[in-house]
Structure 1
Amino acid sequence: MIPIQAELLVVLIVISLVAGIGCTTTGAGGIFVTISLYVFTSLTSTEVAGTAHIVFIAVGIVGTVGFTRSGELLGTDGRVLAAILSGASILGSVTGSYLNPFISRRLFSVLLGLLTVVIGSALLYGQIRGLPSIVTLDARSTGGRLGFGAVGLLLGLSSGLVGIGGPIIAVPALVTLGVPMLLALGVAQVQAIFISGFAAGGYFLQDAVSPFFATVTTVPTVVGAIGGWVLAHRVDPDHLELVLSAVLVPVGLYLIV
């Protein structure tokens, strides 16, 4: 007997498919997997985060292969950025995964909701007013490496704590630091492997991963991610990002209240 109603299982699969498309077109997609696991299943907050990170590992691998094939990760900038962000995010993700059991399910909902509202608002603002580069960092300079390293650490911590994918924060953060959109998407996929890999390891040691829900969400999310990579090179992702941001804000408010 499956641990979820058939109707909710279908909803979970559909949301995962759409989330996968968002992961590789704008970076904003994985959070919908986390939210759907929280809302539609009886998993604890720790199990939600642990299971979601299994999904993000698979999506990160698919995205990395795709953006390597299309050339974004073959240049020096791509390799350097991926190495800095991935290395720095490891410490943050492991720390976040071990802090998660100390927060209640209600606090988890509030934290996830707040982060969802902030991300949705930032994406929406970026679409309405434009997302300018606040400062341009050179990943090959000492200052640039320190700056990107700090970003990686914060991304890893937040992702490990509440079980969201790194790209949803990494992509807009990198764009505001002067990184081109497609390069930011590619680098974020590499980082996601390390963030979610180490975070999932921490949750696995706590026996906080659901094999069933990891499977039924990973497969459609990966399929969506492949389609999203194709779309990212053929259409303007701004329209999809606008829709995603408009959905994130009310969903986040729902989780808070």
Structure 2
Amino acid sequence: MNTTAPAPHRNWLGLIITGLVVGIASGLFGVGGGILIVPVLVYLLRYDAKIASGTSLLAIVLPSVVGVTSYALQGNVDVLLAALLAVGSIVGAPIGSWLLTKVNRRVLQWIFIGFLIIVIVSLFLVIPSRDAIVHINVWTGVLLVLVGLFTGVASGLLGIGGGVIVVPVLVLLFGASDLVAKGSSLLMIIATGISGTVANVRNKNVDLPGALAIGLGAAVVTPLGVWLAGALSPQAANITFACFLVLVIARMAVDAWPRKKGRGA
């Protein structure tokens, strides 16, 4: 059975360049990169929105695997922490998708933009220690599952990748090293990406060749992004991540801004 969604005439160069940019961002920030992939596919490469989302979710798996491996080789992945986040995220994503039909998405987008502004300010005030260790007990474990649940719901509602939420929350609220936060975030993203892709492939919402082109391009340069993350000082890493979040806010604001109806509409 053919599980590949119909796609416009593929711009292979555009897909590969998108992958290269996403790979650097994935390794450097510990994010999947969907926040970058989806608008490029929709607005520049003329993909249908649903197919763009499904293609993005699959495309981020390969660079996330490479990123996790790179961070793990440096001892910067906490498997238990990532597993607890993934449990919550996998449960939360379908809840967010269901809520999407029940709530005003634009209002939620502006609320989330407010949340990101608070995070940006906090990143300039809190400098993580790279020797920090997150000690997981019953209560910490419950909180991590809840963070994952919130991340999954936000992902389902807003199309925001988990790393945008998880990395700053782990640093600011749990006192994690920024490198461990990024490595563990990527491990969580693998689990949620695979689980979401199963349903998308079944519903033919994935352009498999396009996802492969982006994923391979990203995977090649993800180790460079991981190297850059370690080369930056914790303070510089925070500032860089804050700048990335400004781009996320700009992208969300464009999407959330009310559009004028055409005449006769």
Q: TM-score range by the shorter chain?
A: 0.7 to 0.9
Residues 1:221 and 1:121: Cα distance change in structure 2 (over 3 Å): farther
SS in 2 for 1:3: coil
Give the secondary-structure state (helix, strand or coil) at the position aligned to 1:207: coil
Letter matched to residue 80 of structure 2: V
Deviation beyond 6 Å, 4+ runs, structure 1: none
Change (3 A) 1:111 1:205: farther
Structure 1 residue 251 and structure 2 residue 261: aligned? no
Structure 1 residues 141-162: Cα deviation after superposition (integer angstroms, max 9, x where no partner): 2111111110111212322444
Segments of structure 2 that go 5 or more residues without pairing to the other structure are 1-6, 258-265
Find out whether 1:232 has 2:229 as its counterpart.
yes
Q: 2-side partners of 1:175 and 1:256: how far apart?
A: 28
Q: In the alignment, is the contact (CA less than 8 A) between 1:15 and 1:33 conserved in 2?
A: yes
The answer to which structure has the higher helix fraction is 1
Equivalent pairs, count: 245
Deviations 1:205-224 (A, max 9, x none): 21111123212321222223
With the length of structure 2 as denominator, give the TM-score of the two structures.
0.77
Give deviations 1:184-218, integer Å, cap 9, x for gaps: 11110110011111111121121111123212321
- Percent of aligned pairs with the same residue? 24
Q: Are the equivalent residues in 2 in contact too, given 1:53–1:200 (CA < 8 A)?
A: yes
AA aligned to 1:154 is F
CA distance in 1, matches of 2:110, 2:212: 28
Q: Tell me the TM-score normalized by structure 1.
A: 0.79
Larger radius of gyration: 2
**1:133-144 paired onto structure 2 within 5 Å:** 140-144=136-140
Further displaced range: 154-163 or 197-206: 154-163
Please, what is the CA RMSD of the aligned residues?
3.3
Query: Structure 1 residues 252, 61: CA separation in 2 closer, same or farther (over 3 Å shift)?
Result: same
Give the Cα separation in 2 of the matches to 1:217 and 1:86: 24
- Aligned residue type for 2:63: V
**What are structure 1's unaligned runs of at least 5 residues?**
none
Give the secondary-structure state (helix, strand or coil) at the position aligned to 1:71: coil
> Which residue is 1:175 aligned to?
171
Q: Are positions 1:147 and 2:143 aligned together? A: yes
User: Per-residue CA shift, 1:127-153, capped at 9, x if unaligned?
Assistant: 4444689xx996532111111110111
Counterpart CA distance in 2 for 1:205 and 1:5 is: 22
* 1:202 is aligned to 2:196: no
Is structure 2 residue 209 aligned with structure 1 residue 212?
yes
